[in-house]
Amino acid sequence: MPYVQGRFESPIYYETIGEGLPIVFIHPPGMGLVTFDKQRELARHFQLIFFDIRGNGKSGAGSERITMSLLAEDIIRILDDLNVKKAVILGYSNGGSLAQEVAISYPERTLAVMMSGSFPEVNSFLLRNEFRLGLLVTRLKGINFLANVLAMAHAKKTETAFREKMAAYFAHANPHITYQLYNEGLHYRSTNRLNKIQVPVLVIYGRLSFYLHHYARMFMERLKDVEIVTVDKATHQIPTKHAPEFNRIIVDFLKRKVRP
């Protein structure tokens, strides 16, 4: 099991499969790398790098206060450990905020940015309340409750084994760190720095996630090279509930826009 040492004695767990263009997958708070189990088939085309954000899954919690810059540094340490000079950074939901931070802070290590259901800041009523609910549930109900809620939201009704696998994995999250991750995501803002991202950017939204759609305009107004894709009949959980289409979109975008 590969680990890389993060700052403040925090071991960061990661896995890598496949060869070719490297893609780093970033999961949302309270979850883990199993979130992207249905993307493993992309190893036929690319080198896939999955990892657990510190305090989630198999990664250590460490003692340092959670910031996006600290988490971005963890990703760079993984790339260094793999001797990967540049990678595509893919973030799902609030993982997209971390993807933006990597691209802004480490442009020399970033080939492209791909995001699903992501945003440069939390400025809508519904999204703000989602984060506040995550903070409340983590503090009052505990990680096991949160793990089951997240697993149920990300699996189809017929996917009992997948749902149970996610719930068991998510339950390893450190509640103190998960609370910090939600809090950092709630207050993170890249809007005024988006023009620093000079690589191709892909943003994917579910057509039914209407409260996120205004973020598309924010990205389009500030990014030099951006594509917005909307998935029909989809809500927020596109990587798990609409994996075949999500994977096709990734392959198409990278083959058109990125040279290894």
pLDDT value of residue 1: 58
Q: How far apart are CA 243 and CA 239, in angstroms?
A: 5
* Host H or E run for residue 88: strand 87-92
Q: What is the pLDDT of residue 140?
A: 87
CB neighbour class for 257 (10 Å; exposed up to 12, middle 13-18, buried from 19): middle
Quick one: 183 exposed, middle or buried, by C-beta within 10 A (0-12, 13-18, 19+)? Answer: middle
pLDDT score recorded for residue 47: 98
**Over residues 233-254, mean pLDDT:** 98
For residue 98, what pLDDT is reported?
A: 98
For residue 189, which amino acid is it? R
* Local confidence band at 10 (pLDDT 50, 70, 90 cut-offs): confident
Predicted confidence (pLDDT) per residue in 74-133, tens digit: 999 999 999 999 999 999 999 999 999 999 999 999 999 999 999 999 999 999 999 999
* DSSP alpha helix (H) spans, 119-211: 125-140, 143-154, 160-170, 175-187
Model pLDDT for residues 130-163, shown as the tens digit of each residue: 999 999 999 888 899 999 999 999 999 999 999 9
Q: What are the boundaries of each domain within the chain?
A: 3-120+191-257
Tell me the two tokens of residue 158: 């017929």
pLDDT digits (tens, 9 = 90+) for 180-239: 999 999 999 999 999 999 999 999 999 999 999 999 999 999 999 999 999 999 999 999
- What average pLDDT score do residues 153-177 get? 97
Instruction: Output the pLDDT for position 3.
Output: 81
Please give the CATH number for the structural domain made up of 3-120+191-257: 3.40.50.1820
> Secondary structure of 27-55 in the HEC alphabet?
CCCCCCHHHHHHHHHHHHCCEEEEECCCC
Indicate the average pLDDT of the chain. Answer: 95
The share of the chain scoring above pLDDT 90, in percent, equals 92
